[in-house]
Amino acid sequence: MLKKKTPNSLFINLNNKIIKCSKCKRLVNFRKKIAKEKRKQYINEKYWGKPITGFGDINGEILLVGLAPAAHGGNRTGRVFTGDRSADFLYKCLYKAKMSNQRTSENKNDGLKLYNTYVTAALKCVPPGDKPTLLELKTCFNYFKQEIDLLRNVKIIIALGKIAFDACIQFYKETYFLKNKDYVFAHAAKYQLPDKKILIGCYHPSPRNVNTKRINLSKMVRLFKNAKKIII
């Protein structure tokens, strides 16, 4: 008798497929180039240099979506939103909102845990200039769809930044008829998606947005806490 696969084993299988993916030649070449050349401050580290999987509570009700791994963050450490200044700010906020067990995200073995939350990227490889082509996004949507399907308890999707927000809309347009004008990005803007999930726009936790005060700790924490209230 065949043993029924558990959600955990299904995620392991999916993540193994993601890590081995080499479908987009431009992205493969770029991620390998970054991993070989390295940033000076990380010159003695071994870069991950492969596609990045999602991370967190696979039974969670909140999904955080970024566009793609950072060149010297996730592409270096092997975990999404880990090892760069965007991650530093994001996890301070998640910790304050009681969505993580610690306020830092430095490497895959740092003991970080997420509460009722899963984080992923629409694109699994770092793109040149943080600008993927539409074909690259569409190719990667196959993995994103499998993640969404396996994350059966997700009720809220928080898109970190306009590009990630647009990627989420583009993803849903693959299956449903959506008009872009009906889904306009703004911080804390909420929209019900065709599958009844709620999509929330959120400014990206980038150093630029933090330094220009477009986003700050209290504004980000408030958004996360309000998202948690929706699912209570």
Rounded average pLDDT over 115-140: 94
Report the pLDDT value the prediction gives residue 3, as an integer from 0 to 100.
Answer: 57
Q: What one-letter code names the amino acid at 150?
A: L
Query: CA separation (Å) from 54 to 70, 123, 143?
Result: 14, 11, 10
Give the pLDDT score at 97. Answer: 97
Predicted local distance difference test score (pLDDT) of residue 50: 97
pLDDT band at 130 (very low <50, low <70, confident <90, very high): confident
pLDDT value at residue 157: 97
Q: Determine how β-strand 117-121 pairs with β-strand 55-56.
A: antiparallel
Q: What percent of the chain has pLDDT over 90?
A: 88
The CATH code of the domain at 8-230 is 3.40.470.10
**Res 231: pLDDT:** 86
Instruction: Quote the distance between the C-alpha of residue 91 and its chain's center.
Output: 13
Residue 29: predicted pLDDT: 97
pLDDT tens digit string along 131-185?
999 999 999 999 999 998 999 999 999 999 998 999 999 899 988 999 999 999 9
pLDDT, position 4: 60
pLDDT of residue 7: 74
Tens of pLDDT, residues 217-232:
999 999 999 999 998 7
Q: What is the pLDDT of residue 6?
A: 75
C-alpha distances in angstroms, 115 versus 47, 99, 185? 28, 5, 26
User: Is 117 a residue whose pLDDT tops 60?
Assistant: yes
Bigger pLDDT: 1 or 154?
154
Mean pLDDT score of the chain: 94
Could you read off the pLDDT of 3-45 as tens digits, one per residue?
566 778 999 999 999 999 999 999 999 999 999 999 999 999 9
- Whether 70 has a pLDDT exceeding 70, the answer reads yes
Integer Cα distance of 78 and 212 in angstroms: 29
DSSP 71-136: TTTHHHHSSTT-SSHHHHHHHHHHHHTTSBS-S---STTS---BSSEEEEESSSSPPGGG---HHH
Mean pLDDT across 53-68: 96
Whether the Cβ atoms of residue 52 and residue 66 lie closer than 8 Å to each other = no
